[in-house]
Amino acid sequence: QNDLGDETLEKALAANDPAAAACPEGTLSAHQKAQAALCAQAVDFLAVLAQAAKRVEYKLPQPLFARGRFEMNFFLAKFVAHHPVAKNGTGSPPRTPVTKLRSELRDLLRRIDRLPAVLCHRDYHRRNLMVTRRGGKPQLVIIDHQDTRLGPAGYDLASFLFDSYGTFPPARRRALAKR
């Protein structure tokens, strides 16, 4: 991050704009337009990333379903098994709900596995998007690539639009999803 500065998209989106209050209803200040442009740039880059995978031949280290199954089992063992709601008073989770959940998650993984596979960053959120200034124009640079792999189309978009580090107003989320 030192070479890129320390402005993440998270910081850029959190910056207040005192001029925004003076704008007529339904219009955006220059600052708000710049924020919207950065968000659009973040979404548009996902299409570039998806197209990049089509130009390279990949050998997957394991099928997507196998990786998803590992993550599903980890979730069931480390979260569900220890969640108070899942326990039946005996200190252990009841077999029927956990078994049913496992079956439903397997079905979901199989459906996801039929989706087109694209190159996914797999950690695509506003803290991994750095804002740089090139020629005075803000430009995003993506960092933290170690989890990049093939994955289901839409994975990174969902991660970005429903980012745990900040929310988008519903109207902006819908507009970005349509890009």
Q: What is the pLDDT of residues 66-106, one digit of tens each?
A: 667 788 888 888 887 777 666 655 555 556 677 788 888 88
Stronger pLDDT, 151 or 9, i.e. the higher one:
9
CB 71 within 8 A of CB 112: no
Predicted TM-score of the model (pTM): 0.76
Dihedral angle sign, alpha carbons of residues 156, 158, 164, 165? positive
Element (H, E) at 106: helix 95-113
Mean pLDDT over 51-57 rounds to: 71
Going by C-alpha positions, the residue among 174, 163, 71, 175 that lies closest to residue 124 is: 163
Answer whether 38's CB lies under 8 Å from 138's CB. Answer: yes
Dist. CA 119–CA 100, nearest whole Å: 31
